[in-house]
Amino acid sequence: MKYLLLKHYRGGPEPVEGWTTMDRWTPDEVDAHIQFMRDFAAQLEENGELVSADAVSPDGTFVRHAGEGRPPVTDGPFAESKDLIAGWMIIDVDSWERALERAAQLSAAPGAGGQPICEWIEVRPFMSEPPSHDELAAL
Amino acid sequence: MLCGVPLRDLVPSSIGALVRRGADFASAEDAVQDALVIALRTWPDDPPRDPQAWLITAAWHRFIDAARSTTARRAREVADVRSRAVGVAAEAQRDVAASDDTLDLYFLCAHPSLSPSAAVALTLRAVGGLTTRQIAAAFLVPEATMGQRISRAKRRISEVHLGERGEVATVCRVLYLVFTAGYDGDVDLAAEAIRLTRRLAGLSDDPEVHGLLALMLLHHARRGSRTDPQGRLIPLGEQDRTSWDTRLIQEGIEILVVALARDDLGEYQAQAAIAALHVDAPDAASTDWVQIVEWYDELLRITDSPVVRLNRAVAVGEADGAAAGLAALALVPPHVPRRIAVEAHLRERAGERAAAADLYTLAAAAAANTAERNHLMRSVAPSAWTHLRIELDGTTAEVFVGDATEPDLTVSDLKLGADASGGVGLWVDQGSVATFANLTVTQG
């Protein structure tokens, strides 16, 4: 089953005590964090669990259709108070429990002082299970 | 298919040949996979005279190369000795050994120590003769990931000997997983599952294997009628039965009848019997639900699975009415997938429309794929119209539902004020489905 693991710059539940944003870390700490992410993806691949991993820039905006013939309307850059996604991993694992296990491991990526940042990772199941074949198809 | 030979069919026997020459299963399987990829690339322009011999020879060379490069000197010496001795007799004995090898491979790849996804992947490669790339595409994972999944699977069963045959039920379970995996990429997994099960049925007379084949054929015959061209789910009661493949149905029934006559009932034969009762009905209303319930009782005796119990509740609802169905549902533990959808359906049948609508909404939120979710959302729409009357007076609005004489909702501070003019907008919240009709505006 496929799951989306979302890293957020901000948003989600209250961060743990002492949590700091990446702009407050030293260059070495940033490198260590990125290396952890690379190693984690490699480990997922080695385990036959990796589908994809990507980071996205904090630059961006919201866009919507503004009516026939009108240019799209944007609402950005992203407001400081809003949820902001940093990137994601898509994994293919045997159970929900395994997805949680992997998310918790990802959450332990190092940050300031080389300590695990314990960030909140959002886990969302993909809506792609095969359809049923049985009586439930009767409904 | 190359040169009139189904190339994939040659894979299991090639693996078997290498193992008999002394290669371990994991290395043999890798070597044959490598040779397969080359064959797919070179055979169209340069077809071999004897495809099976070509594949075995090419795989053997790759095995030797790999053995050399890992400085597995002992393996090489053993292999060299064996190949000299076995070479001449090999071709003659090949046909005899091939079927046994293939049957052994089915069991090895379905070994209970493997997770379902690992067993499926390994079976598709070693028994199915698919390439890693094809399997990866079918399951929408990167090729490297699938390759690793298969390597890990082989490491996990490295202590198991080819020839150790376990329960037929484990093999059937893996093949049924392949069948129900859905359809993606170039490989039709349902068709692949049927091909593999047919082959197994040719090698084994176990009635469960034949029951499984019958079940797959009876489901596959109806595949086209399950969704509309836009991908929307069509419930069994509304499926176009004229589109069902009568040839596959005929074959499935014949196989099932022979299996049942062996008087050794198992879960797949029972499931096939239920499928047979569905296809036997000329229309949904003629379905023999009473007999279907009896088969579910048999199935419960065999498996005691909560999912089976849930399906039985649906059948009881059809055979004995919604109240009986709900009573049967009460015996199904919570958290069984699709349980809420079944309750919604039964409550709707029992006339509890409001409860059903709420349950359909919950079921949609719990749906595991978008087609089911959309189908459940469409079911939320009540089968009767709800009459709404809104009386406006200045900045106050009173909403009356149905034939209520007292307002069900009063809004006393309309935001646009008493003098607003313009159009009327009607909408429902995201995730809801609604139809509006007969809007009339009257001045009081």
**Unique residue bearing structure tokens 């890990």:** B152
Overall size of chain A counted in residues: 139
pLDDT digits (tens, 9 = 90+) for B207-259: 999 999 999 999 999 998 988 888 888 988 889 999 999 999 999 999 999 99
CA-CA distance, B72 to B76, in Å (whole number)? Answer: 6
Predicted confidence band of residue B92 (pLDDT cuts 50, 70, 90): very low
The shortest CB-CB distance from A48 to any of B152, B318, B373 is to B152
More confident residue, A21 or B332: B332
CA-CA distance, B98 to B100, in Å (whole number)? Answer: 6
pLDDT digits (tens, 9 = 90+) for A70-92: 999 999 888 887 888 999 999 99
- Residue-level pLDDT at B89: 46
Mean pLDDT of the region B152-170: 91
Could you tell me what percent of chain B has a pLDDT over 70?
Answer: 90
Complete domains list, chain A, with CATH: 1-13+21-56+83-127 (3.30.70.1060)
Comparing B4-13, B83-92, B171-180, B420-429, which segment has the lowest mean pLDDT?
B83-92
B88 pLDDT more than 50 = no
- Burial readout A28-46 (b: 16 or more C-beta within 10 A, e: otherwise): ebeebbeebbeebbeebbe
CA-CA distance, B105 to B117, in Å (whole number)? Answer: 17
The shortest CB-CB distance from A131 to any of B140, B142, B372 is to B372
Q: How far is A15 from chain B (nearest CA, A)?
A: 28
Whether the CB of B136 is below 8 Å from some CB of chain A: the reply is no
**Cβ-Cβ contacts under 8 Å, B115 against chain A:** 94
Contact B150 A48 (CB under 8 A): yes
B2 pLDDT more than 80 = no
- Residue-level pLDDT at B163: 83
How far is C-alpha A54 from the chain's CA centre? 9
- Residue-level pLDDT at B401: 87
Q: How far is A11 from chain B (nearest CA, A)?
A: 22
Does the interface predicted TM-score (ipTM) exceed 0.90? no
pTM: 0.82
Six token digits for residue B149: 């999944």
Highest mean predicted confidence (pLDDT) among B106-115, B223-232, B360-369: B106-115
